[in-house]
């Protein structure tokens, strides 16, 4: 889409009005600088946002974040809210990796005290935290345990001694989404998920050790235990084959039932059903199972990362604990209450490659953060900074309490592999002080920093737009990738 | 040819920012599906190992695009759960979808994992003397 077709609201906000295409039900609001938009050449994310603006029951506007890039049907970096329960839910607008998300752990460990141990730490994290294609975890769950994971999420891990109360308290939804029903999940999803709790997977998923590089908000950073020069750990993964299969099953089923509700869509991946219909309700119940599975998955990986920290740093530093900062989803559908045209409305907020970013005072936030706003974690591309931000009042008003989720790709995976040699990239990263442990060099090349936007410019855009405030920047020192 | 990379005469990779997309060709609908299977396995770097055994499955489908998506989704499921790569496939179109027979072999290696077969811009249609299909994978 040509930038000239957009209405400029200000330097960081643009609009596609409903007059752009007659089947649009709501406008598209874009948070991005002109520079970011100009770099989208050839990318179809804005066309996909316009397609998404045709879904029945939409309210407000479809929002696109500055890390937007072309997805399959719904753009990555997109947010869409449909009125609950009469509007639709669209599995494709949440994605196959349901509750793909990020967990951030803080420590008291000073980088300077353990610099000499970081190679060993990276190796031990890599050994303990399974990653890569087709790699299962240490746990094989029977049907009963799979049901427990699906309904209890991170709280299942708490009962198994693999979590602390603070971990679940400082997780979106307390680590357990209500309304999950394992009966809505098919046998194939259970099969795929039974050996994958506690695994990173491949693609853009990773575990990273970072050092707090710069603090922008002392009070908020202090509350999150983030202090300059200290190590953090970030875990990025989701619901693995369990979530992928749930989405696959429902997108297939919805192809049949959607027409029963008289719904027409411009892209079959956007299939949807009213939330108050039997198929729509069943999807919500199954999707919540996958969300809980992902919370449990990141929790078990957190437990394994703690073991690696203790194993490596015992006798080197006194306090080697990893404290939960927050765990957030960036592929999820949530029933939330927002103000639309001055009225409080209950909606299903579809976030695909977008992070919930509730402002100060939101009841859903843990007590430790309620007066600050919700912590937002934006991972950078490998080798570049990651960011911690806070949700704001403006994000509640402008973007259904949402903000960006990452750097956002600019190059195709094929192009990245042509431009970058995985082994050379690993050498470059090591030279820059980032220890790399990787299962596939081809996979590493696909995730090269040059394949992504500059994460600092993405963060600058959301900060200037007021839909998240900067707290701290984190610099990577070790990366574990599948 | 900047938009795609030719992998063989029967299938090629299309450019896509975040995911993988494949274009396939065949003299028949079933030939195009067999090419899609080979193309998907090649993109993943899936290696067929030992222990050949017969495999057979049906795919329920409502139209040709759902034949394509359902067929590849079934192969992905077999790959992940049974650690199996399907070779020497014979695909037959039926009233209800597809009937597939072939040989399953142990998955000996896999470079990159496909999460799912999507319906985004999926197509499978006859154009002149050949069948042409397109499919996008979530990776």
* Segment 56-115 of chain B within 8 Å of chain A by CB: 62, 65-66, 69-70, 73, 77, 80-81, 83, 107, 110-113, 115
Percent of chain A with pLDDT over 90: 88
Q: How confident is the model at residue B1 (pLDDT cuts 50, 70, 90)?
A: very low
pLDDT category, B3, cuts 50, 70, 90? very low
Which residue, among A256, A28, A4, A228, has the nearest Cα to A112 in the 3D structure? A228
Q: Which of residues 29-58 of A touch B (CB under 8 A)?
A: 43-45
Strand pairing partners for A416? Answer: none
The mean pLDDT of A143-150, rounded to a whole number, is 98
Residue A387 has pLDDT above 70, yes or no: yes
A243: Cβ contacts below 8 Å, ≥ 6 apart:
A96, A97, A98, A99, A189, A290, A293, A294
CB atoms within 10 A of CB B110: 21
Q: Which positions in chain B touch A45 (Cβ < 8 Å)?
A: 17
| Chain B residues inside the 8 Å CB shell of A410 | 17
Helices and strands per DSSP (H, E), number in chain B:
2, 10
Look-up: residue for tokens 């400082």? Answer: A170
Q: Judge: B116–A247 Cβ closer than 8 Å, yes or no.
A: yes
Question: Which residue among A72, A202, A409 sits closest to B112, beta carbon to beta carbon?
Answer: A202
pTM of the predicted model, to two decimals? 0.96
Backbone angles phi, psi at A317, to 5 degrees: -135, 155
Average pLDDT in chain A: 95
Mean pLDDT value of segment A386-407: 97
Torsion of CA A394, A397, A399, A403, to 10 degrees: 30
A-B contacts at Cβ under 8 angstroms? 109
- Residue A50: count other Cβ atoms within 10 Å of its Cβ: 24
Catalytic sites of A, residue numbers? 405
Query: Nearest C-alpha of chain B: how many angstroms from A25?
Result: 21
Residue-level pLDDT at A39: 87
Of B17, B111, B122, the CB nearest to A268: B122
Q: What's the 3-state SS for B46-111?
A: CEECCCCEEEEEEEECCCHHHHHHHHHHHHHHHHHHCCEEEEEEEEEECCCEEEEEEEEEEEEECC
Distance between A420 CA and the closest CA of chain B, angstroms = 16
Mean pLDDT across A235-260: 96
**Residue partners of B128: CB distance under 8 A and separation at least 6:** none
Neighbouring CB atoms inside 10 A of A430's CB total 12
Question: Mean pLDDT throughout B77-97?
Answer: 95
| B7 lies within 8 A of chain A by CB | no
What is the interface pTM, i.e. ipTM, of the complex? 0.91
The minimum CA-CA distance between B65 and chain A, rounded to whole Å, is 10
Rounded CA separation A306/A217 (Å): 27
Nearest CB to A69: which of B5, B18, B73?
B18
Please state the separation of Cα B71 from the chain's center in Å. Answer: 7
* Share of residues in chain B with pLDDT > 90 (%): 83
Task: Please identify among residues 319-348 of chain A the ones whose CB lies closer than 8 Å to any CB of chain B.
Answer: none
Angle, alpha carbons A113-A118-A123 (nearest 5°): 150
B chain contacts of residue A442, beta-carbon cutoff 8 Å: 45, 111-112
* A133 closest CB neighbour out of B77, B112, B136: B112
How far apart, in whole angstroms, are the C-alpha atoms of residue A454 and residue A410?
10
Predicted confidence (pLDDT) per residue in B9-46, tens digit: 799 988 777 788 999 999 999 999 999 999 999 999 99
Task: Flag if B73 and A248 touch (Cβ within 8 Å).
Answer: yes
Decide if A130 contacts A237 (C-beta within 8 A): no
Closest partner CB to B16 (pick from A412, A442, A443): A412
Q: What is the pLDDT of residue B5?
A: 53
| pLDDT for position B7 | 61
- CB contacts under 8 A, A 426-465 vs B, are 440, 442-443, 446
Tens-place pLDDT, residues B99-130: 999 999 999 999 888 999 999 999 999 999 99
Strand partners, A345: A338
A413 close contact with B: CB closer than 8 A: yes
- Model confidence at A415, in pLDDT bands (50, 70, 90)? confident
Residue of B nearest to A245 (CA): B116
Residues 6+ apart with CB under 8 A from A343: none
CA distance B59 to A39: 42
**Res A410: pLDDT:** 81
What pLDDT is stored for residue A117 in this prediction?
96
């Amino acid at each position: 889409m040509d930038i000239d077709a957009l209405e400029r609201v200000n330097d960081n906000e643009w609009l596609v009005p409903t007059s752009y295409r007659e089947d649009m039900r709501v406008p598209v609001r874009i948070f991005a600088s002109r520079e970011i938009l100009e770099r989208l050449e050839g990318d179809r994310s804005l066309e996909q946002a316009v397609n998404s603006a045709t879904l029945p029951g939409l309210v407000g506007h479809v929002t696109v974040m500055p890390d937007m890039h072309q997805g399959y049907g719904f753009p990555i970096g997109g947010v869409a809210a449909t009125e609950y329960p009469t509007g639709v839910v669209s599995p494709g607008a949440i994605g196959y990796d349901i509750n793909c998300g990020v967990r951030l752990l803080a420590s008291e460990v000073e980088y300077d005290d353990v610099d000499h141990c970081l190679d060993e730490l990276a190796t031990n994290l890599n050994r303990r935290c399974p990653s890569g294609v087709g790699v299962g975890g240490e746990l094989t769950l029977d049907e009963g345990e799979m049901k427990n994971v699906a309904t209890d999420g991170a709280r299942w891990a708490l009962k198994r001694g693999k979590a602390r109360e603070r971990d679940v308290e400082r997780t979106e939804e307390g680590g357990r989404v209500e309304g999950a029903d394992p009966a809505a999940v098919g046998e194939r999803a259970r099969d795929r998920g039974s050996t994958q709790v506690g695994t990173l997977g491949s693609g853009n998923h990773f575990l990273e050790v970072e050092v707090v590089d710069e603090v922008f908000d002392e009070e908020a950073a202090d509350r999150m235990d983030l202090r300059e020069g200290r190590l953090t750990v970030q875990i990025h993964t989701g619901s693995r084959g369990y979530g992928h299969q749930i989405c696959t099953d429902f997108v297939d089923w919805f192809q049949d039932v959607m027409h029963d509700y008289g719904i027409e869509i411009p892209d079959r991946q956007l299939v949807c059903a009213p939330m108050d219909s039997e198929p729509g309700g069943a999807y919500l119940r199954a999707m919540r199972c996958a969300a809980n599975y992902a919370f449990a998955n990141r929790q078990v990986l957190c437990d394994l990362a703690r073991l690696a920290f203790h194993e490596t740093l015992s006798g080197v530093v006194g306090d080697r604990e990893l404290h939960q900062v927050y765990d957030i989803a960036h592929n999820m559908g949530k029933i939330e209450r927002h103000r639309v045209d001055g009225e409080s409305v209950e909606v299903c907020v579809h976030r695909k490659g977008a992070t919930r970013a509730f402002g100060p005072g939101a009841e859903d936030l843990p007590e430790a953060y309620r007066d600050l706003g919700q912590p937002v974690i934006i991972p950078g591309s490998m080798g570049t900074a990651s960011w911690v931000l806070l949700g704001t009042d403006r994000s509640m008003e402008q973007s259904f309490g949402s903000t960006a989720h990452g750097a956002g790709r600019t190059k195709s995976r094929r192009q990245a592999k042509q431009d970058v040699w995985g082994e050379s990239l690993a050498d470059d990263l090591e030279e820059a002080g980032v220890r790399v442990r990787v299962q596939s060099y081809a996979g590493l090349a696909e995730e090269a920093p040059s394949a992504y936007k500059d994460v600092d410019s993405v963060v600058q855009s959301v900060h200037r737009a007021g839909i998240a405030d900067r707290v701290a920047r984190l610099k990577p020192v070790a990366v574990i990738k599948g | 040819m900047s938009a795609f990379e030719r992998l063989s005469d029967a299938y090629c990779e299309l450019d896509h920012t975040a995911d993988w997309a494949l274009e396939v060709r065949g003299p028949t609908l079933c030939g195009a599906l067999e090419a899609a299977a080979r193309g998907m396995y090649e993109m993943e770097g899936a290696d067929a190992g030992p222990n050949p055994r017969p495999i057979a499955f049906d795919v329920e489908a409502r139209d040709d695009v759902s034949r394509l998506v359902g067929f590849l989704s079934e192969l992905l499921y077999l790959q992940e759960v049974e650690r199996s790569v399907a070779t020497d496939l014979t695909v037959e179109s039926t009233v209800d979808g597809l009937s597939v027979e072939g040989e399953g072999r142990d998955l000996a290696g896999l470079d990159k994992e496909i999460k799912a077969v999507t319906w985004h811009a999926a197509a499978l249609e006859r154009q002149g003397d050949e069948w042409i299909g397109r499919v996008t994978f979530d990776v």
